[in-house]
Structure 1
Amino acid sequence: MRHLIFLPLALVLSACDQGEITVRITDAPADAVNVAFVAVEGVDIEAEDGSFTRFDFDPPRRIDIAGLRQGRSETLLQNASIDAGAFSGLRLRFAPDFVPPDVINSDPIVLDNGTTATLDYVRESIRVALAFSIDELERETVLLDVDLRASLLQDDDDLAANRYRFDPVIRAIRQSDAGDIQGTVAADLVNQSPCFPAVYLYQGRNAETTTLADREPPLNSRQLDNLSITGGSFRFSNLAAGGYTVAFTCDADADDPEDDAPEVNFLASRSLDVDAGRSSQVTLP
């Protein structure tokens, strides 16, 4: 009888050494890009000792990154079992050649004007740093925020070949630590001519915002939503608690991810604090 009792107890004890992890992906949208499909082959969770727990997708997941805006996200892993412990990051693996058999038009990029383009992957995987821990029987949710404006590259050769290059810029945050910023931009700022409006987010209050080439570059950027003669709105989601500076420019068209010193002048900025689980409001100017 002791053997009959021991086996189920061992299984229970083994299960108690594990927790669960959920991973979701979201996006900061890119200029003029309406659709941007990327194929994700798997997600790996990195332990403190540098080892990875792999989660493979068969077939790969084809995700429209451009559609994940305004706080929307798509789940990559849902309550996946993982050994409890301390972790240092996550790794996304891509499948550059994957096209689902039911997809007729394989071009993954669709611009706002309806034209399409191909996509070349600069790298087939990317590691994103994030220190967190999962205790026994605990659940953790991690958000991966892709900055699509900084991730889609296009030089003159790419333009001639009708393609973009995808070099992902991603940050990670625990969902329980996340807050957001919702803001508006006044009409007198956006009604200048010419104006290609965008709002940039810097880490820290009263951050230096003279150019994009400073030693402390912006954390993220957003195009304006609901843009009209009365102004516009914006939202930065999935931010760690702390101080931030938001800054508005009409020179967003000069922001080239491959230019080390783009000429971008900021016309207004505000500092504010973000708290976990809350939305902070700000108005520019």
Structure 2
Amino acid sequence: MNTKKTTLSVCLITSLLMGCGGSDSSEPEPAKTAMVTFSIADAPVDSAKEVNVSYLSLTLKRDGQADIDIPFVNENGVEEVQKINLLDYQNGDSLVVLSNIELPVGTYQELIINTAGCPQNQNGATDACYVVEDDDAILPLKTPSNKLRLGSFSVSTEGVQAYTIDFNLRKSLVSTANGQSYNLKPHGVTIIDSATVGAIKGTVDPNLFSAGTCAADMGNVVYLYQAPVAQDSVLGDEFDPDIDSSAPTNVIAPYASKMITLSDTANEYIYSFNHLPSGDYLVAFSCSANDDDPEQYDAILIADPTDQTHSVTLQQGELATVNFVEVI
């Protein structure tokens, strides 16, 4: 695993609050800081071999304070755009992109990933940001205004902190322009405290691929929902309520969803949800998920077969194993 480090100085950070240079008794106490590391991770996506994005910097926003911009650098500490294939970091793997950055303690309202040279329409260049499909077609990949605006996070003084920027490409990667390009959206990209995460992994019985309502292999996906789930709720597929408001009010969107993949080391079908906060979850398998548009509610039957659901309580740092087996 590659490690990329930044040379951002303590003076640069503290100058944003009170200036560098000498101090005297009349000056305020220096701001408390902590060391923070950022990593990038991803999950498998349905029909792509590569999802390449060129990263310029991270921008951190705080109420009433100046923004902090942290450039990506190469192995020699020189500012340089970093091109990363997100599909290289799946199933629990992650890439450290900024290591041991000294940041002021406090709450940050927004983290923005600034990309570089991503095309802004379906006719744009494919040298900086692009998707390689299963048939080797190379299509442009847009990030809106070359920015991915993510949520908030907090920095404390409790030792070194590590955050994972987790791309759920089944949510965030959207086909556009009648299949001629892609859009990478912040919907489905989360910031997670790496010290508090757990994982849910398991195997799927291949007999389930043609069970339930599936006469043949129609798309095999495991969906993850935050629990508890109300009795009258409907387990929904991936959709964006800001785009599609047609979903019934009792439909629950998944926290994440993962394709079933064939293990490289054993002849078995597997799935994994990584970088999960502790809490209660429901996992459900569907063999009929081939029409799962990440923006539109597709009314996919979940679970399919209907008995393929499991409840899980995930503790901090725990790896929970949940296997889906055909019930005879």
| TM-score category (smaller protein) | 0.7 to 0.9
Equivalent position of 1:278 in the other structure: 318
Relative to 1, partners in 2 of residues 1:123 and 1:209: Cα closer, same or farther, differing over 3 Å? farther
Relative to 1, partners in 2 of residues 1:9 and 1:78: Cα closer, same or farther, differing over 3 Å? farther
Contact 1:198-1:250 at 8 Å conserved across structures: yes
What residue identity is the alignment partner of 2:137?
Answer: T
Contact 1:34-1:67 at 8 Å conserved across structures: no
TM-score (norm 2): 0.72
Q: Quote the Cα distance in structure 2 between the aligned partners of 1:88 and 1:97.
A: 25
Contact 1:158-1:164 at 8 Å conserved across structures: no
Equivalent position of 1:82 in the other structure: 103
Q: Quote the Cα distance in structure 1 between the aligned partners of 2:132 and 2:300.
A: 27
Q: Quote the Cα distance in structure 2 between the aligned partners of 1:97 and 1:130.
A: 24
Q: Deviations over 1:165-203 (max 9, x none)?
A: 222331111011100001122233123413210111111
Equivalent position of 2:141 in the other structure: 119
Q: Deviations over 1:79-126 (max 9, x none)?
A: 01112333344221111349xxxxxx8372112232222222234223
**When you count helix as a share of all residues, which structure comes out higher?**
1
What residue identity is the alignment partner of 2:33?
Answer: Q
1:254 match: secondary structure: coil
Aligned: 1:55 with 2:87: no
Structure 2 residue corresponding to 1:241, chosen from 278, 284, 287: 278
Relative to 1, partners in 2 of residues 1:263 and 1:231: Cα closer, same or farther, differing over 3 Å? farther
Aligned: 1:109 with 2:131: yes
Relative to 1, partners in 2 of residues 1:197 and 1:227: Cα closer, same or farther, differing over 3 Å? farther
Aligned: 1:23 with 2:60: no
1:189 match: secondary structure: helix
What residue identity is the alignment partner of 1:122?
Answer: P
Structure 2 residue corresponding to 1:176, chosen from 184, 195, 212: 195
**When you count strand as a share of all residues, which structure comes out higher?**
1
Deviation larger for 187-196 or 139-148: 187-196
Q: Quote the Cα distance in structure 2 between the aligned partners of 1:51 and 1:244.
A: 38
Contact 2:209-2:217 at 8 Å conserved across structures: no
TM-score (norm 1): 0.82
Relative to 1, partners in 2 of residues 1:50 and 1:26: Cα closer, same or farther, differing over 3 Å? farther
Indicate the RMSD between aligned Cα atoms, in angstroms.
2.8
Q: Quote the Cα distance in structure 2 between the aligned partners of 1:218 and 1:50.
A: 35
How big is the shift at 1:143?
Answer: 0.7
Unaligned runs of 5+ in 2: 1-21, 73-78, 120-125, 238-246
Relative to 1, partners in 2 of residues 1:17 and 1:122: Cα closer, same or farther, differing over 3 Å? closer
Contact 1:130-1:173 at 8 Å conserved across structures: no
Contact 1:184-1:234 at 8 Å conserved across structures: yes
- After TM superposition, the structure 1 = structure 2 runs for residues 1-285 of structure 1, keeping only pairs within 5 Å, are 17-47=32-62, 49=64, 51-57=66-72, 58-97=79-118, 106=127, 108-135=130-157, 138-155=159-176, 157-159=177-179, 162-168=180-186, 169-192=188-211, 193-206=216-229, 208-212=233-237, 213=247, 214-226=250-262, 232-259=269-296, 261-266=297-302, 267=304, 268-285=308-325
What residue identity is the alignment partner of 1:118?
Answer: P
Count of aligned residue pairs for this structure pair:
265
Relative to 1, partners in 2 of residues 1:49 and 1:243: Cα closer, same or farther, differing over 3 Å? farther
